[in-house]
């Protein structure tokens, strides 16, 4: 993140723009997004970057990207292309946690069952240690009770809904949320981190952990999950190894186009 007040795509490094487009493609390749879902990256204390209203796997160039304000989730440019209605998930998370650098919203069908079940999602294999011992579930119905006039379509379409969701990540710890992953009842989940690549990793391994936990539950008996210290120390896994592989996977797949990639 730059300390400059970045307001235009032209002010963003080509490296970050290319990486962002790759992230959209990688998330689709691994089943975290389809025509829906989105990821963002913070550009400065006051702005962040997202794609325009389009399917993430189709994001291909700077023409598909929009700069938004953290303050209210609105586009910086008055003539910006249409954006996602749930961009407030991102703006309010950045507002609440100043050190958060990237936010993902996924509708992963592997994860959704844990948002509507009494069985909590818990870290049960070492690649998902970042889940810790608690993964909160945010229920939008709590907000509807306070604001009954809201359209009850389960979407986070304004700052009040976004703020309520952001608070479910818990108190800020050194500028980061206590709980990096929050499930949304009957909807999906939100992943956060201090870098774009790590947010992608957390999204992928949250879904994989859900698969593992579901499979283990189906075997019967008790599922043994990671202890607090195990989760904390395995959660330090970096992205140095998987990121180049994930980039190669999408660069060699004809469905994805990245006009900023050297392979394009």
- Terminal Cα-to-Cα distance of the chain (whole angstroms): 26
For residues 4 and 51, give the distance between their C-alpha atoms in angstroms, rounded to a whole number. 21
Q: Which of 14, 86, 197, 230 is catalytic?
A: 86
Residues 6+ apart with CB under 8 A from 249: 26, 29
For residues 90 and 135, give the distance between their C-alpha atoms in angstroms, rounded to a whole number. 19
Q: Is 251 a catalytic residue?
A: no
For residues 43 and 176, give the distance between their C-alpha atoms in angstroms, rounded to a whole number. 16
DSSP lists the bridge partners of residue 172 as 177
Question: Annotated catalytic sites, by residue?
Answer: 86
């Amino acid at each position: 993140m730059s300390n400059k007040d970045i307001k235009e795509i032209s002010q963003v490094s080509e490296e970050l723009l290319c990486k962002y487009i790759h992230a959209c493609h990688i998330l689709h390749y691994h089943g975290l997004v389809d025509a829906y879902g989105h990821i963002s990256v913070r550009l400065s204390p006051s702005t962040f970057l997202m794609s325009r209203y389009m399917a993430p796997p189709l994001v291909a160039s700077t023409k598909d990207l929009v700069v938004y304000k953290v303050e209210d989730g609105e586009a910086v440019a008055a003539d910006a292309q249409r954006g996602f209605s749930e961009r407030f998930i991102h703006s309010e998370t950045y507002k609440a946690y100043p050190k958060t650098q990237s936010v993902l919203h996924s509708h992963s069908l592997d994860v959704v069952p844990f948002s509507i079940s009494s069985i909590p999602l818990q870290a049960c294999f070492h690649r998902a240690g970042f889940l810790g011992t608690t993964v909160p579930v945010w229920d939008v119905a709590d907000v509807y009770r306070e604001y009954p006039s809201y359209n009850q379509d389960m979407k986070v379409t304004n700052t009040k809904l976004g703020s309520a969701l952001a608070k479910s990540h818990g108190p800020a710890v050194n500028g980061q949320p206590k709980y990096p992953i929050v499930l949304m009842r009957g909807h999906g989940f939100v992943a956060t981190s201090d870098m774009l690549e790590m947010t992608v990793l957390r999204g992928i391994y949250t879904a994989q952990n859900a698969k593992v936990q579901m499979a283990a539950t189906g075997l019967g008996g008790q599922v043994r999950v990671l202890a607090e210290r195990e989760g904390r120390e395995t959660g330090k896994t970096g992205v140095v190894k998987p990121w180049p592989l994930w980039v190669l996977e999408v660069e060699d797949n004809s469905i994805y186009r990245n006009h900023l990639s050297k392979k394009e």
